[in-house]
Amino acid sequence: MSLLLSRVRVWLVTPAARACGALLLILAIFIWNVENWKPATFFGRYQDDAVYFSSAQALAQHQGYILPSFPGVPLKPKYPVLYPLLLSGVWKVWPEFPNNLIWAIRLTEVFGCLALLCAFFLLRFLAGIGRTTSLILTAVCAFHPVLLRLSGLVMSDVPFMAMLLLTLLLARFAMSPVGSYAFTATLGIAVALSASLRTIGYTAVIGLLAYIFYRREYRRAFVYCVAASATTGAIFLLTAYDISRGAQAKVHLEIASSQWERLVAFYTDYVGFQWRMGIPTVGAFFTMIKENCLQLLSSPGPFLAGAFDRRSWLLTAGMSAIVLSGVVRQLRRTEWRAFAFVIVPYLLVVILWPFPIMERFLLPFLPLFLVATLLESKRLLTLARTNFRPPTSLGKRILAAAICAILLGYAAFSGWTYLFRDRRELREAADAQGKTLEERREVYSWIRDHTPVGAKIVAYDDVLLFLYSRRQALRPIAMLPASAYSEGSGSHSPDLAQDLAHMSDAPREAGATYWLVTGDDFSLEAEREKITSRQNEITAALPVVFRSSGGFAKVYDSSCLLNSTREDCRTAQVVLFPGTR
């Protein structure tokens, strides 16, 4: 025992022990920062989180992997199954909603901690920088606004980041000269898990397989494929879906309106909604490619600096050149080659995706961006210092001074954003969200207590309403990506005005007898004002049956959608269904 204690004392004074202590401190500060902005109040704000959590509840109750909130035949959600499967454990341990939200958020926090640990070891083993520098960059990751925000949400972004970084870390050991086939099998398992969290993870599966073939290690490729395939198959078997339900849903679509079909595709079919419906013409396709390329090239700098508003985004757009230059230099190195085989197909998918939210897509590469920016900045500062020395010309000295000032300005702006501005904005947003949440809960409570169990509700936050009230609901309309409307009316592209004119079609087919309107409906849509105006036009023709204490949320009786012959509904038909009379 005394010998063990002696060895522990010796280890505690080693650099490795100090690094472990520093990492634990970074993780503790990270968790405190996440919980400090009351993330539970934001649940449902991005809608994906409510879909994940409701599907997890269905899995926990042995209903299968379905979307229980949607009226009619149960639908299978479009998202990969692993994250809802993990969340189903939360429902089994603590089935009381919304009290169980805190445990779902802590699950995301755990993945956030894993992502930070993987970032540290990647920086140590791949970037070739010292322990202290790696700790500093890991701490910067822990304070990054996008990571902090997403680590408090019940969404798959941070779990995917953690698994992808773990995969790249394992690739470093599996592909080393002494790497065993056991490491390769572990790599296959990890990359399959990342793809089971987000569909874009299959780019990592393909990229690493291409990297193994590039190294001409065919036996290792076989082990990798077997491990990845077995893992993916096991996950699907755990959440086997009844094929007959899918067949019923297909039959239902054949007799449905285009708006109902679009809503079903919105929840169940990435390719069908985003591509078949969202990219209707060749012109829309090239418009999307152009816009995505511009976004991708200009986003790394604002993403790294945490610039969310337009003014700050423009201020930091110049950082993108520094980040991209550093990334290219790093990916040329042998140590980063596996990373290069993953990032190229990944970014190709981002460019081809009709609805890219760049900060979420770029999040897994945060450690790469940080080390690339650091090394590129050091290179620029070295060049500037060289140009300060005589006999260089005055023009070169001014240019060198300008480079130093720009780098210092970017560093200062990023530090201010990380430590002050973003924290203040999150607190203010949490306070505002808390106030609206109280009014939402008033409405949800009224719906639960005063509507029939089988009632169908129209609501933009439909899945959130279901979780609180246990009433099935659907959003009034599923808007296509902005590129779908890029050519305007008169072309083969969908017509926004025509789509809005048919906003009542899907609610009528669902048999919706209530319509919920809140002050932040359609907040994530590009044409929010036009969509809100059309919804207000519809609800103005319907009677109000309940309003929240502050007027933020109102419930309307929408039974006129179903009964056009009633005396009090006849005049409303022209508004509800323009062109029918």
* Percent of the chain topping pLDDT 70: 92
Q: For residue 118, is it within any domain?
A: no
User: Treating both helix axes as pointing N-terminal to C-terminal, what angle do 422-450 and 462-469 enclose, rounded to 10 degrees?
Assistant: 60
| Segment 429-451 mean pLDDT | 91
Q: For residue 500, is it within any domain?
A: yes
| Segment 9-36 mean pLDDT | 81
Sign of CA dihedral 89, 90, 94, 96: negative
Q: What is the model's pLDDT at position 208?
A: 95
Q: What is the model's pLDDT at position 384?
A: 78
Distance of CA 581 to the CA centre of its chain: 43
* Percent of the chain topping pLDDT 90: 47
Pairing of strands 473-474, 457-458: parallel
Q: For residue 48, is it within any domain?
A: no
CB 19 within 8 Å of CB 139: no
Q: What is the model's pLDDT at position 251?
A: 36
Kind and range of the H or E run holding 466:
helix 462-469
Q: For residue 277, is it within any domain?
A: no
Q: For residue 1, is it within any domain?
A: no
| Segment 61-81 mean pLDDT | 88
Q: For residue 252, is it within any domain?
A: no
Residues spanned by the domain of 534: 426-576
Q: What is the model's pLDDT at position 250?
A: 41
**Total Cβ atoms within 10 A of residue 7:** 10
What would the pLDDT profile of 504-526 be if each residue is shown by its tens digit?
999 999 999 999 999 989 988 88
What would the pLDDT profile of 117-163 be if each residue is shown by its tens digit?
999 999 988 777 888 899 999 999 999 999 999 999 999 999 999 99
pLDDT above 50 (res 247):
no
Under the banding of pLDDT at 50, 70 and 90, the label for residue 243 is very low
Residue 254 in tokens? 């054949």
Distance of CA 285 to the CA centre of its chain: 23
Q: For residue 42, is it within any domain?
A: no
Q: For residue 484, is it within any domain?
A: yes
Q: What is the model's pLDDT at position 310?
A: 79
Under the banding of pLDDT at 50, 70 and 90, the label for residue 249 is very low
The pLDDT mean for the chain works out to 86
Q: What is the model's pLDDT at position 492?
A: 57
User: Which of 29-43, 359-373, 457-471, 557-571 shows the lowest per-residue confidence on average (mean pLDDT)?
Assistant: 557-571
Q: What is the model's pLDDT at position 254?
A: 47
Nearest alpha carbon to residue 458 among 399, 496, 503:
503
CA distance 517 to 439: 12
**Stronger pLDDT, 384 or 36, i.e. the higher one:** 36
**Stronger pLDDT, 7 or 185, i.e. the higher one:** 185
CA distance 235 to 192: 10
pLDDT above 70 (res 255):
no
Q: How many domains does the chain have?
A: 1
Using DSSP's 3-state secondary structure scheme, residue 518 falls into strand
Q: What is the model's pLDDT at position 207?
A: 95
Under the banding of pLDDT at 50, 70 and 90, the label for residue 8 is very low
CB 98 within 8 Å of CB 40: yes
Q: What is the model's pLDDT at position 2?
A: 58
Residue 18 in tokens? 């100090």
| Segment 377-392 mean pLDDT | 79
Q: What is the model's pLDDT at position 245?
A: 43
Under the banding of pLDDT at 50, 70 and 90, the label for residue 569 is confident
What would the pLDDT profile of 186-234 be if each residue is shown by its tens digit?
999 999 999 999 999 999 999 999 999 999 999 999 999 999 999 988 8
pTM for the model: 0.91
